[in-house]
Structure formats: structure tokens, C-alpha cells
Amino acid sequence: MNDIYEDIRKGERGAWVSIAAYLILSTFKLICGYLFGSSALLADGFNNLTDIVASVAVLVGLRISQKPPDSDHHYGHFRAETVAALLASFIMAMVGIQVIVEAIRSLFEGAKETPQLWSAGVAIVCAVAMMGVYVYNKRLAKRINNGALMAAAKDNFSDAIVSIGAAIGIVGAQFGLPWIDSAAAVGVGLLISKTAWDIFRDSTYRLTDGFDEHKLMDLRSTIARTPGVEGIKDVKARVHGNHVLVDVVVEVDANITVLEGHKISDSIEERMSKLHNIMNVQIHVEPKGITKI
């Protein structure tokens, strides 16, 4: 269990990296967007400002999830991570819709000035920096199996793509089509909304105890191959923060002792930990071939 809390603390480091990057890049984009007259760069900058709020929400969720179990939370507070990711998706969705509305209004206003080409360079530099943050957080999230940090990494990636899209719109505006800059801002808003939907869908799936069927089959296969297990009557799994809880009912030889049944349970736990990094397995042992009275 200490390893789990240590992994969560590592996840905090990723959240802090995101917050620092967003603070620097949003300030840079907003200043340059005003100076160079680029609505796409401004939209990208405002997006990064809200990403700070989303990253802080993830950080708070990671902090809460480290609280030990208490009388009201016997399984601990690990789901605070998922709730934080869900909150982040709401924030991103509101910003995405706002950016789209403002960009469409800007398109209909017409007579826009062409943004300076320097703003495209700013967008590319920011895209490269954010891609670096994405790679760092994605690798860390996979290593510690942290859903909240993976949501933050997805947000990092979408921000890098958004900046590239903004650069394309700015360059296109140099060819006498200034409306392309506003069109790029619409694309920014759509991508923000799409990322928000993906995070929302994943978070609600976890909170409603959804679990990938293929992964469940892998777990079932591992249990079935455990020496002494003669059948599996039921197996369930759910995600609880950054780790998985498994409940399984196995059948064993009706003539073995309680001690032998206990050893089979220990063997299942060891295999699940070693092969799938699952530390929480609830095992119910039943005698094979005996019907309940």
C-alpha cells in the first residue's frame, strides 16, 4: 500500500510540471496574441489559462487520494483522482464552447486585420514545449498507472495540437485570407471540447465501475491457470483511483483442507500482483461439484 501512495506523490510532480508550463506558456501566448493581433493565439492562451485550473483540480484530487482509509471511506480516498479529472473535463468543456462562440462572432464581424507572422513562430515554440510536457506526463502516468495524470497528459497533447493549428491559421492569413485565423480559433474550441468529452467519458466510466472486458478476460485467464483452481464461478473488477480491485469466486477440490484452500488463495494474490500489478483481490473459495443447500 505504501507503494501506491508513493506513486500518487510521483503523480503530483507531473501535475506541478503541467501547472508551471501552463503559467509560462499562457502568459507568453496572451501577450504575443495582443501584440501581434492573433485571435487564434489569444484563444490558445485562454485555453492554457483554464488548463491551469484543470491541473490544479487534478493536483487537489491527488492530494485527497493520499488520505488513509477512515470510518466513512473503508477503501480509502483514491477515487478523488477520478472526480478531479471529471471536474477538469467540465472546465475544459465550458472554455471550448466559449472559444467557439467568440471565434464564430469574430468571423461574422469581418474586416479583420492580418495577424503578424511572428505569432505563428510563438505558436510553434509553445507547441514543441507542450509536446515535451505531454511525453513526460504520459510516461509517468503509465509507469504509476494514474488515470488523473493520464487525463492531464491528454490535455497536454491536445494543447500542443491546438498550438500547431493556430500556427497554420496564422500562416494562412498571410495569404490575404485573414478569416482563416478565426477559423483556426473555431478548430481550437472544437478540439478543446473533444478532449473534454474524452476525459468526461473515461471518468464517468470509472466512477460507474466500468471495466474493460478484454482486461477482465486476461485476469480470468491468470486465475484459471493457478494450480489448485478447478473452476471460476465469477470474477469482477473495478478501478479505484490508480489501482484495481478484483472480486473472484473460484472452485477447488472439495476434499482439500482449509489450509490448502488458503494457500491457493495466496497463490492467486501473488500471481495477480506479479503479472498485473494488482494488490487488492478478494477471493471466495467454493468446493467444486457441491451444490448449495
Residues 40 and 126 grouped into a single domain: yes
Res. 135 pLDDT band, cuts 50 70 90: very high
| Residue of higher predicted confidence among 138 and 191 | 138
Lowest-confidence pick of 66-70, 82-86, 176-180: 176-180
- Give the count of beta carbons closer than 10 Å to the beta carbon of residue 3: 11
Of 140, 174, 207, which one is at a domain's C-terminal end?
207
Res. 131 pLDDT band, cuts 50 70 90: very high
The CATH number given to whatever domain includes residue 55 is 1.20.1510.10
Nearest to 152 by CA among 239, 56, 240: 56
Residues 262 and 150 grouped into a single domain: no
Decide: 66 and 5 in contact? Cβ < 8 Å.
yes
Q: Is residue 200 part of a domain?
A: yes
- DSSP-assigned letters across all residues of 160-204: HHHHHHHHHHHHHHTTT-THHHHHHHHHHHHHHHHHHHHHHHHHH
pLDDT tens digits, one per residue of 244-276: 889 999 999 998 999 999 999 999 999 998 888
How much is the pLDDT for 225?
Answer: 92
pLDDT tens digits, one per residue of 13-69: 888 888 899 899 888 888 888 887 777 778 778 878 877 877 888 888 878 877 777
Q: Is residue 24 part of a domain?
A: yes
Give the β-pairing of 243-252 and 280-287: parallel
Chain centre distance of CA 42 = 26
How much is the pLDDT for 242?
Answer: 67
% pLDDT > 70, the chain: 93
How much is the pLDDT for 236?
Answer: 92
How much is the pLDDT for 3?
Answer: 60
How much is the pLDDT for 290?
Answer: 67
The phi and psi torsions of 155 (rounded to 5 degrees) equal -65, -40
Residues 107 and 127 grouped into a single domain: yes
What's the number of domains the chain is made of? 2
Count of helix runs (H) and strand runs (E) in the chain: 8, 3
Nearest to 149 by CA among 140, 158, 157: 140
Which domain, by its residues, includes 271?
Answer: 213-287
Q: Is the pLDDT of residue 289 over 60?
A: yes
